[in-house]
Structure 1
């Protein structure tokens, strides 16, 4: 089981440390982390040093929209084989000169013997130092540094910026190719206007936090998972213009094959698989209901293979 340290607790054993913000844990991030995990065979603890919040948001009060919650990030890091996750308060390190960061954090606190980072990694006060400075400072301290080249897709580096742009255009499939997994969120299920119940099609409502990326408004094929349940869904993201606009962007998901208990208050994971259509205003609830049923059949076809694969994995565990 992965240990999570909400601070700068001193490591008990020598470590291989992956460095980065890792928002979204895309394919480039995964390449860095997997290299650190391979060092377990050499007796080092596979570790990740990152921040619970965006450094840019901490510095300016406004960061780029987040691609992943901390809970989803922690689960995926554990699945990748990370054994120690350090969620450092940015305030505790933001003013450290590069040399102090290497000496106090990497060497003395994390007990790093090997360090892994991406090609564009920066550190130290003001983010003034890069991978070459990291190598120069680590070398005399006996710490090996491995900087990985970018992972590319269609001739360009995989990046969080590319993923955000794809999602803002409704490119859920393209975002998945860049991420290596579907764009997901695990917000609490809240009460909506109960329009779904009136239509005989119960839905779950999740509100996007202000700092989270909101994909293009529209309808998506999705997967929904909670407890041991995995089912497909039809997810509308937007303000629901047919039934009265919402104040904040909302994710509303209809799960055709689910007839269990209400999920209010639960943290439910929703994964966007593919964009089906833009959000639009319908003439009334019957027209809306007919379109949702049609979208349900489309979503079923898209999600069917995904669900079979997930259930097969669950059975083998």
Structure 2
């Protein structure tokens, strides 16, 4: 898959999916699939997105992210996308809607099909909507496919709804909207070795500022290491028993004892076990962690999404 961090001319005619696509939930995927279907027409399935939320540029701070750019690119490639344009929002911020269609979609991408969601906005100030996109594209002979709202349990699927569910610890419901388990891939850092002293070594991963924060507490998890999938017990929080001042994901990978320091390891949250709490003794903490491990094994075994 080709990835461009600035706007360049496409070497082939394209079917372009437009959007921020944070989380790449099941609604986003419907947009992506329509672009991928353009391959049958000889078009290169292409995504136009941004390296950060436009709100970060306009307001200085965007909504917490559901995935990193590297995770987004990895999933887009799995979905069948051949090209991704991921420039800074500032590169197109001042384009009028008409200029965006004529100079970028037509002039640079040679788009013959453009796909977006029903609530897509573009052009300077975000003043143009999906209907305006269809009108402008039609004037250039470009097909436009607009994906309608996707509902689950009577409510629209959206990145905002998913962030709220994750913040409440309802990761199983979030998985239903994402079409996969919510997870993250961050480098493993050195910790205080407390888990190793207790006979349950953990991997510590700092959750960066600007990334969505799950509800603090203990989760059943799945951890992918060297092509194998392991059950895990993950604590999200500030480590109240030993003291800490930043949000950390600390995972005991059951049935694994290798050294993962410095490696970016994928962790997927399967289900919420209990809130974070402080223990009076290390023995009490150790007993609770073993109980969490048994609960985690049961939850992983019955999880909606397989390995």
Q: Which residue of 2 aligns with 1:74?
A: 73
3-state secondary structure, aligned to 1:277:
strand
Q: Which residue of 2 aligns with 1:11?
A: 10
Q: Deviations over 1:147-183 (max 9, x none)?
A: 1101110111100111111111110111101111111
Contact 1:231 1:307 in 2 (8 A): no
The alignment status of 1:165 with 2:169, answered yes or no, reads no
Q: Distance in 2 between matches of 1:209 and 1:85?
A: 24
Q: Distance in 2 between matches of 1:232 and 1:252?
A: 13
Equivalent residue pairs, number = 307
Q: Distance in 2 between matches of 1:16 and 1:199?
A: 55
Q: What's the Cα RMSD here?
A: 1.4
Q: Deviations over 1:203-255 (max 9, x none)?
A: 000111111001100001111113323211100000111122x1111100001
Contact 2:47 2:85 in 1 (8 A): yes
Q: Which residue of 1 aligns with 2:84?
A: 85
Q: Distance in 2 between matches of 1:308 and 1:32?
A: 22
Q: Which residue of 1 aligns with 2:249?
A: 251
**Structure 1 unmatched ranges of 5 or more:** 311-317
Q: Which residue of 1 aligns with 2:106?
A: 107
Q: Deviations over 1:64-117 (max 9, x none)?
A: 000011111111111111111111221110111111111111011111100000
In the superposition, the TM-score normalised over structure 1's length comes to 0.94
Contact 1:236 1:251 in 2 (8 A): yes
3-state secondary structure, aligned to 2:224:
strand
Contact 1:221 1:272 in 2 (8 A): yes
Q: Distance in 1 between matches of 2:245 and 2:292?
A: 25
**Structure 2 unmatched ranges of 5 or more:** none
In the superposition, the TM-score normalised over structure 2's length comes to 0.97
Q: Distance in 1 between matches of 2:283 and 2:110?
A: 63
Q: Which residue of 1 aligns with 2:191?
A: 192
Q: Which residue of 2 aligns with 1:315?
A: none
Q: Report the Cα offset of residue 140 of structure 1.
A: 1.2
Find the partner of 1:271 among 268, 272, 278: 268
